[in-house]
Structure 1
Amino acid sequence: MRKVRKKEKVYLPDPKFNDPFVTRFVNHLMKNGKKNIAYKIFYNAMNKIDAIKEKEEKSALDIWKEGLKNAMPHVEVRSRRMGGSNIQVPVPISPNSKITKSMKLLISSSSIRNEKTMANKLAYEIWDAFREQGEAVKRKENIHKMAESNKAFSHFRF
């Protein structure tokens, strides 16, 4: 093979939940290398989710993982030049990229919400994604709709 496979990055577990996915999420949440602030935002969001949930017997971490799963796209469209025009070709996403894309969708859609603090924005967006509502799930559905509408070009996969 010409291309060398990229080594999969190993994430250390976070201090509170002892979960490497939390560390990965916090790394995406972090800005300007301020990881402690990102951890505070995430942990405050988890505490807020604990306060929000009414009759749910799941923990806040389980709600977060379910919300990530609900915001996870399975296909995406990539632009490909065929003849003189660009066409959108639907391509399945690798499992590692699915997780990354869902984390980034949750963070970006929570940052445009109207709550006061980032922890509240993140908590409510995670809660909405858990209930299969919210902006992150809508964006995922838009990605799927674009792939569905361009299904005719799926044989141009590269």
Structure 2
Amino acid sequence: MRSKKLKGKIKRSIKPDLVYSSVLVSKLINKVMKDGKKQKSMNIVYAAMQRSASEIKKDPLSVLEVVVENLKPKIEVRSRRVGGANLQVPTPVNPDRQVSLALRWLVEAARKSRKSTEFWISLSKELVSAYNKEGSAYKKKEEVHRMAEANRVFSQFIEQQ
């Protein structure tokens, strides 16, 4: 009898950042990074966190944790082929994917909102707006939840492990 194969990939460990000793900050730095310029992305993230924390008057790390918690999607839709039709099936989101999506939406929203300002300023503005449960990153989360709610009829097609 053959043993079951491991599903998925082996998870890489991410080292905590130098200033806050947080894996979450390190993940944000990696999301912001372009072309391997980590030092530049570190400077951007630290400056944005300091600016947003001074605006909210809280600890920078706790601000980021609240922001990520506000942006985490609990449920998302996935395409599933059922009887010749592609259905948008609402499925619960894995906790690691929740954090990854929250950080991705945060960085994407900051990149889009950027007009003539520097990126760290737009990132700090997006952090503040996500902290207050508003802004384009939060709208993205609400949109994903609305899609899942609209397709709740197809929740019977969720794959069982």
Same fold (TM over 0.5): yes
Residue 3 of structure 1: how far off its partner (Å): 3.8
Q: Output the amino acid matched with 1:85.
A: A
Question: Which whole-Å deviations, capped at 9, do the CAs of 1:26-52 have from their partners, x for residues lacking one?
Answer: 111111111011101001101211332
SS in 2 for 1:106: helix
Distance in 2 separating the partners of 1:39 and 1:49: 15
Out of 119-128 and 13-22, give the one that drifted further: 13-22
Distance in 2 separating the partners of 1:7 and 1:86: 30
Aligned length: 155
**TM alignment of 1:4-153, pairs within 5 A:** 4-53=7-56, 56=57, 58-114=58-114, 116-153=117-154
Q: Which runs of 5+ in 1 are unaligned?
A: none
Superposition misfits of 4+ residues, deviation over 4 angstroms: none
Q: Output the amino acid matched with 1:46.
A: M
Q: Output the amino acid matched with 1:63.
A: V
Residue 9 of structure 1: how far off its partner (Å): 2.0
Question: What fraction of aligned residue pairs are identical, expressed as a percent?
Answer: 32
Q: Output the amino acid matched with 1:20.
A: V
SS in 2 for 1:15: coil
Q: TM-score, normalised by structure 1?
A: 0.92
SS in 2 for 1:8: coil
SS in 2 for 1:78: strand
Q: TM-score, normalised by structure 2?
A: 0.91
Q: Which runs of 5+ in 2 are unaligned?
A: none
Residue 114 of structure 1: how far off its partner (Å): 3.8
Residues 53, 63 of structure 2: 8 Å contact kept: no
SS in 2 for 1:12: coil
Distance in 1 separating the partners of 2:123 and 2:18: 20
